Amino acid sequence: MQVIQSRRELQALADGERAQGLRIALVPTMGALHRGHLSLVAEARKRADRVWVSIFVNPTQFNEKSDYEGYPRDLDDDLEQCREAGVDLVFAPTPDQLYPEHAQTWVEVTELAEPLCGATRPGHFRGVTTVVSKLLMCAKPHVAVFGEKDFQQLAVIRKMAADLCMDVEIVGGAIVREDDGLALSSRNVHLGPQARREAASLSRALDAAQHAVAGGERDTDALLGAVRREIEAQPLAEVDYAELRDPETLAASPSRLIGPAVLALAVFFSPDPDASGARVRLIDNRVLPVGRRNR
């Protein structure tokens, strides 16, 4: 497995692979790899001859400095996991490789990046689309794979790639969960034992909503009310948002669902009662397969 730090070197390698007619898949990550990332690597493997993983904790997408500084980092462990997963190449650039001196260029998606996490985390998606653009310019992949846990991120990146005529296929990989339903996230390690138990309420709420919709419930207030009650019953939890939106446009769903909707959640968890530290913000989502009325 090659480990590359230089963007120029990576671009030369990409040109070489492409000239041989080999397909490259890129899995962009911020490291702290877990089984969720490895499932994206497996998804990438299905679609390409070469699977490349990038590991870069991107400063411009954090809207709180403490979140950036506290973000878990363990490059040796990440590289070991990549090796075991059969990754061909890891791109682990230093910040100056992606942000040259006086960097002042931004790639920004507007409407899709406004609601949900865009409203709570100003500038977050601008940082994401900017760094993903750079990573795509460096690795020149045919395919790039992103996790569906970050549902809005995936929608924003798809739109960016289409709008900017990027010659890359953007693929989503299914959410991977713990036994109790908690979606895997690098931030889960920051949860205290009590918060960790309470965090399973997100997927329970999603399951319940899916069940309710399968049983015929279409009222968005009723659905979202039940979701909030499930989560707010947890002493450490505070709902950041719980919303139903169109899975493609992210437009707010009508008061009665008439088509598929994504139920998107973001929840803050306070430190355990005997602990200190920052709150942990978790996200999760489920696309609710609501058929249109007259089908």
Q: Which residues bind its own copies (CB under 8 A)?
A: 7, 11, 15, 18-19, 21, 97-100, 102-112, 129-130, 133-134, 137-138, 140, 159-160, 162-167, 249
In the bound state with its own copies, the residue whose beta carbon lies nearer, of 29 and 220, is 29
Nearest-angstrom CA–CA distance, 205 and 239:
12
Cα angle 138, 144, 146 (rounded to 5 degrees) comes to 120
Closest separation between CB of residue 184 and its own copies, Å?
A: 29
| The 2-4 sheet, strands edge to edge | 2-4, 89-91, 50-55, 24-29, 143-147, 169-173
Nearest-angstrom CA–CA distance, 13 and 140:
10
Phi and psi of 143, rounded to 5°?
-135, 145
Long-range contacts, stretch 274-279, CB < 8 angstroms, 24+ apart: 275/192, 277/190, 278/66, 278/67, 278/70, 278/190, 279/238
In the bound state with its own copies, the residue whose beta carbon lies nearer, of 11 and 210, is 11
Nearest-angstrom CA–CA distance, 121 and 133:
20
Q: Count CA within 13 A, CB hemisphere, residue 287.
A: 16
Closest separation between CB of residue 18 and its own copies, Å?
A: 7
Catalytic residue numbers read 37
Nearest-angstrom CA–CA distance, 67 and 70:
5
In the bound state with its own copies, the residue whose beta carbon lies nearer, of 105 and 294, is 105
In the bound state with its own copies, the residue whose beta carbon lies nearer, of 129 and 185, is 129
Cα angle 7, 10, 12 (rounded to 5 degrees) comes to 110
In the bound state with its own copies, the residue whose beta carbon lies nearer, of 104 and 276, is 104
Closest separation between CB of residue 243 and its own copies, Å?
A: 20
Closest CA to 196 of 184, 210, 209, 208: 184
* Strand-pair category, 237-245 with 169-173: unpaired
Closest separation between CB of residue 216 and its own copies, Å?
A: 32
